Structure formats: structure tokens, C-alpha cells
């Protein structure tokens, strides 16, 4: 072999080596910012790892950015600095804010169409998808983790206190709580995410409007109306029950979970998505039941509304990156992934196929009550009052509602005065949002 031929062979070997290394490390990284800590954070990592194992062109990189508010705030700041992730998880009350972020969002329907991938909107649960659609029906973000509040209860405590079934009305909650306190429990019930559970969902469950303009879905020139007699009645009742230790407040988000786990209270109203954590930690038999309704406010329950979050795609990256984002979204919404996520966490399956798969796998039969959230969301056809909420600046409005509710629990305000103040302050923020997006 001549020196020239040897040189060619050497060059070819070097080129092949470079190409093989290039192939190994050429996967396009897709940044996914999320708000899932603890066990759910580990599950998010598994979904990303499992997707990455299906192909070599793209690598989804999940990154925990704090709670929902912190994650959305970080993404908005990153976009302004042109350092935004490809995907960000945003909770449901951030929808109006994301819709108003002109030029920042790559709508999921457009993304999937551009990538040539299917998006069957009819396959999603109506209670889930309707929350994230424009008035024209265009889907803005990919549903991921949707939940609704349920009544968690300690079956062992109920047996000890002589309670034969989960309460279905608020007076029955009070009656059961008295029996539990008499049986030695510190309190009867508590709740978490109190604005979501006791104002937003109480309103939907009783077919009451949280605000005008179909709870903000029909326009941003809306006003709050949750200081109505129904919401005032239940919060006033709870304040009275607190004096008898029937109710005990434990924090704004999930802070009160240890009270339920440690058997200080035997009923807890909060997200169905606590299923995984309760199953792992509880040393007692527990159950899920539908939210109680107030017979003096409504003749029966309507439907509850979702919480949780969707995945929003942000603009500003290379075109080839979005093919990877679309492939991941397609994978994420598959029946197998969604059924696994639902069964592990307690979030509702976002698609009918994932629900049918869970049914076929015998999950609900082996774990009675785990379909409570699905039944509750689809109990009746949603009305303009029970479809959901879409208000600007609602992340900050929730802070106001929380502050005013805490004033009720500490005895410094009546329910009526606190709700009137919350509406007054909330309307100021609505006008600011309207002015900024007019």
C-alpha cells in the first residue's frame, strides 16, 4: 500500500471515528422545566428517561424549578433574557397569563401540525381539555397532570368513631367530625390548597360563578363574584366549627397532609394527586369520596373542576428542536404513559384511552375509590359556572384569597368581610391585567 493510500485509510478512520462520536453526542437537548418535587419529580425523570431510550436524536432534560408559581415566574424571566426552556409546566391558574404572553407561546396544536404528528383532541377527557382551549376550540398546551379535590378519609378512624360511611353533605361532615373528636381525635377535618378547594371548587360544585363573563372564559373585562351568600355560608360554617375543634387549619398548599397522615384529623379535602404519597405513608386504611355539598346552597352537586398543570412550548429555539418537543408530547400523551402516571400519582388520566387501559388492567377494581376524581369531574355536563376559571393575575389573586381566609381562621375577620375584601382587591388586579392586555 502506497503512503498516499495509507494516508487515505488513516483519514477515513479518523473521519469515521469523528462521525461515530458525533452520532453518540449529537442528541438535541430539550429543556423541560417543571414543578414536581419529591416522588413526582422522580416519576417525571422516569418519563424523560424512558422517552430518551426510545430514540437517539433528542434528549429531554427535566429540571425542577420550585413550586408552580416559582416555575412560571422563572420561565417568564428566562424568556425575557432569551434563555427560555423548550417546555415549561404551568399550573391551571397561569393559563390567562400564558395566553397574554404575546410571541412567547408555540400552541400545541400548531406545534404538532408543523411536526406532522397527530393530535386527537376528541381523545382527551372533556373536563381536562376544555380548560386549555381558546374560545374557538384551539388547544394551547399539552395536558399533563390534572387533578381535582376529593374527600380523603381514614377508614379505621371512622370505624372507631362509629361512622358507617363517608359524609356527602357539609352538615354530615360536621356530625362526623364531632364523633371523631369525641373518639379522641384532635380534629375532624382539614383541607389544603384552600382557595382552590373551598372557593373555586366549592363554587363549581354548587354551580356558583366565581366571576362574570363565564368565569373569565368569555373575556378579560370580568369581575369577581365569589363573595356570594353560598361561599360566605360555608366559610362561616367552617369558622364556627373551628371553635369546637371540628376543623383545624394546616396551611395554604399541602402543608396539612401530615395532620391526616399522623391521624390528627381523619378527613382531608385536597387533590386526588396525593394518592401516591398517602398510599406510601399512611399506616391506616384510607378511602376517597366525592366532595360534600351544602344542601342550603344547592340541591345536589354539579361537577368539580381540575387543578394541576399543562406543558407549554415556548418559542425562540431552532426549528429542528421542535420536532423533538412534538415527539415527546406524542409520547407523553400515549395511553401507556398516561395510565402509568395516573396509577402512580392519583392525577386523572388525561385521555379516554388511558382511562380504558387502567380499567382493563383492573386498577380500579384492585384500588377502590381511585376513579372518584374522574366520576366527580364528569358527574354532570359543565355549565359556564363549572367549566373552570380563567382570570388574569389569578396567581396573585389566590394569595389575596388565602390571606383573607387566614383572617377568618384567626378570628380577625368574619367570612363576609373577608370575602368582600378579597373581591375588592382581586378586581383591582383584574383591571391591571385588562389594561395591560387591552
Per-residue pLDDT of 333-346, as tens digits, reads 999 999 999 999 99
Q: Give pTM, 2 decimals.
A: 0.90
Domain end: 350, 365, 380, which one?
365
Q: What is the CATH number of the domain that holds 104?
A: 3.40.190.10
Q: Are residues 193 and 298 in the same domain?
A: yes
* pLDDT at residue 42 greater than cutoff 90: yes
* pLDDT at residue 304 greater than cutoff 80: yes
Q: Residue 382 domain-assigned?
A: no
Q: Quote the CA–CA distance of 222 and 224 in Å, as a whole number.
A: 7
Q: Are residues 318 and 275 in the same domain?
A: no
Residue 16's pLDDT band (boundaries 50, 70, 90)?
A: very low
- Provide the domain count of the chain: 2
pLDDT at residue 20, as a whole number: 45
pLDDT at residue 127, as a whole number: 87
* pLDDT at residue 309 greater than cutoff 80: yes
Mean of all residue pLDDT scores within the chain: 94
CA separation, residue 158 to residues 120, 244, 277, 289 (Å): 44, 19, 21, 13
* pLDDT at residue 19 greater than cutoff 60: no
* pLDDT at residue 306 greater than cutoff 70: yes
* pLDDT at residue 11 greater than cutoff 90: no
Q: Are residues 134 and 47 in the same domain?
A: yes
Q: Are residues 237 and 216 in the same domain?
A: yes
Write out pLDDT tens, residues 407-425.
999 999 999 999 999 999 9
Residue matched to cell numbers 394546616 = 250
Q: Are residues 201 and 326 in the same domain?
A: no
Residue among 391, 379, 395, 390 nearest 127 (CA): 379
* pLDDT at residue 5 greater than cutoff 60: no
Residue range(s) defining the domain that contains residue 262 = 149-304+392-436
Residue 192 near residue 257, CB atoms below 8 Å: yes
Domain end: 365, 382, 407, which one?
365
Residue 204 near residue 261, CB atoms below 8 Å: no
Give the 3-state secondary structure of residue 60: strand
* pLDDT at residue 4 greater than cutoff 50: no
Residue among 68, 62, 217 nearest 135 (CA): 217
pLDDT at residue 158, as a whole number: 98
Q: Indicate the angle between helix axes 335-345 and 352-360, nearest 10 degrees.
A: 70
* pLDDT at residue 22 greater than cutoff 90: no
Q: Are residues 282 and 179 in the same domain?
A: yes
pLDDT at residue 2, as a whole number: 53
Q: Are residues 324 and 336 in the same domain?
A: yes
Residue 211 near residue 222, CB atoms below 8 Å: yes
* pLDDT at residue 150 greater than cutoff 80: yes
Q: Residue 378 domain-assigned?
A: no
Q: Are residues 31 and 112 in the same domain?
A: yes
Q: Are residues 167 and 77 in the same domain?
A: no
Q: Are residues 96 and 164 in the same domain?
A: no
Q: Residue 349 domain-assigned?
A: yes
Domain end: 365, 384, 413, which one?
365
Q: Are residues 339 and 416 in the same domain?
A: no
Q: Residue 383 domain-assigned?
A: no
Q: Residue 180 domain-assigned?
A: yes
For the chain, percent of residues with pLDDT exceeding 70: 94
* pLDDT at residue 253 greater than cutoff 50: yes
Q: Residue 416 domain-assigned?
A: yes
Write out pLDDT tens, residues 101-148.
889 999 999 999 999 999 999 999 988 998 899 888 999 999 999 999
Q: Residue 358 domain-assigned?
A: yes
Averaged over 1-25, what is the pLDDT? 48
Q: Residue 187 domain-assigned?
A: yes
Residue 21's pLDDT band (boundaries 50, 70, 90)?
A: very low
Residue 265 near residue 178, CB atoms below 8 Å: no
pLDDT at residue 1, as a whole number: 55
Q: Are residues 409 and 265 in the same domain?
A: yes
Amino acid at each position: 500500500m502506497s503512503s498516499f493510500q495509507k494516508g487515505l485509510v488513516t483519514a477515513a478512520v479518523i473521519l469515521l471515528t469523528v462521525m461515530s462520536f458525533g452520532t453518540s453526542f449529537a442528541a438535541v437537548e430539550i429543556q423541560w422545566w417543571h414543578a414536581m418535587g419529591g416522588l413526582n419529580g422522580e416519576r417525571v425523570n422516569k418519563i424523560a428517561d424512558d422517552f430518551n431510550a426510545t430514540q437517539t436524536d433528542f434528549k429531554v432534560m427535566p429540571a425542577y424549578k420550585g413550586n408552580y408559581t416559582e416555575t412560571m415566574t422563572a420561565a417568564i424571566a428566562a424568556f425575557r433574557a432569551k434563555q427560555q426552556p423548550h417546555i415549561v409546566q404551568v399550573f391551571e391558574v397561569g393559563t390567562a397569563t400564558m395566553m397574554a404572553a404575546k410571541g412567547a407561546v408555540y400552541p400545541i396544536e400548531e406545534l404538532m401540525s408543523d411536526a406532522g404528528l397527530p393530535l386527537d383532541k376528541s381523545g382527551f377527557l372533556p373536563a381536562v381539555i376544555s380548560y386549555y382551549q381558546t374560545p374557538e376550540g384551539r388547544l394551547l398546551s399539552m395536558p399533563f397532570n390534572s387533578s381535582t379535590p376529593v374527600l380523603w378519609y381514614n377508614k379505621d378512624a371512622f370505624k372507631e368513631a362509629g361512622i358507617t360511611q363517608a359524609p356527602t353533605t357539609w352538615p354530615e361532615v360536621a356530625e362526623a367530625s364531632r364523633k371523631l373528636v369525641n373518639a379522641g381525635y384532635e380534629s375532624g377535618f382539614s383541607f389544603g390548597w384552600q382557595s382552590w378547594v373551598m372557593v373555586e371548587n366549592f363554587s363549581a360544585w354548587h354551580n356558583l360563578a366565581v366571576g362574570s363573563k363565564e368565569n373569565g372564559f368569555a373575556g378579560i373585562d370580568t369581575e369577581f363574584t365569589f363573595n356570594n351568600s353560598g361561599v360566605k355560608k360555608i366559610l362561616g360554617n367552617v369558622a364556627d366549627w373551628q371553635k369546637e375543634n371540628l376543623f383545624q387549619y394546616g396551611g395554604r398548599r399541602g402543608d396539612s397532609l401530615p395532620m391526616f397522615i399522623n391521624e390528627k384529623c381523619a378527613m382531608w379535602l385536597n387533590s386526588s394527586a396525593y394518592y401516591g404519597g398517602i398510599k406510601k405513608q399512611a399506616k391506616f386504611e384510607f378511602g376517597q369520596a366525592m366532595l360534600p355539598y351544602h344542601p342550603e346552597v344547592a340541591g345536589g352537586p354539579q361537577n368539580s373542576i381540575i387543578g394541576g398543570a399543562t406543558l407549554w412550548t415556548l418559542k425562540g429555539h431552532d426549528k429542528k428542536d421542535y420536532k423533538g418537543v412534538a415527539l415527546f408530547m406524542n409520547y407523553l400523551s400515549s395511553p401507556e404513559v398516561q395510565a402509568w402516571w395516573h396509577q402512580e400519582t392519583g392525577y386523572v388520566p388525561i385521555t379516554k384511552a388511558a382511562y380504558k387501559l387502567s380499567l382493563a388492567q383492573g386498577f380500579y377494581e384492585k384500588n377502590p375509590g381511585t376513579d372518584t376524581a374522574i366520576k366527580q369531574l364528569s358527574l354532570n355536563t359543565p355549565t359556564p359556572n363549572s367549566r373552570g376559571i380563567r382570570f388574569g393575575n389569578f396567581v396573585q389573586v389566590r394569595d389575596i384569597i388565602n390571606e383573607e381566609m387566614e383572617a377568618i381562621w384567626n378570628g380577625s375577620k368574619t367570612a363576609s368581610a373577608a370575602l368582600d375584601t378579597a373581591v375588592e382587591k382581586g378586581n383591582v388586579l383584574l383591571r391591571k391585567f385588562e389594561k395591560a392586555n387591552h
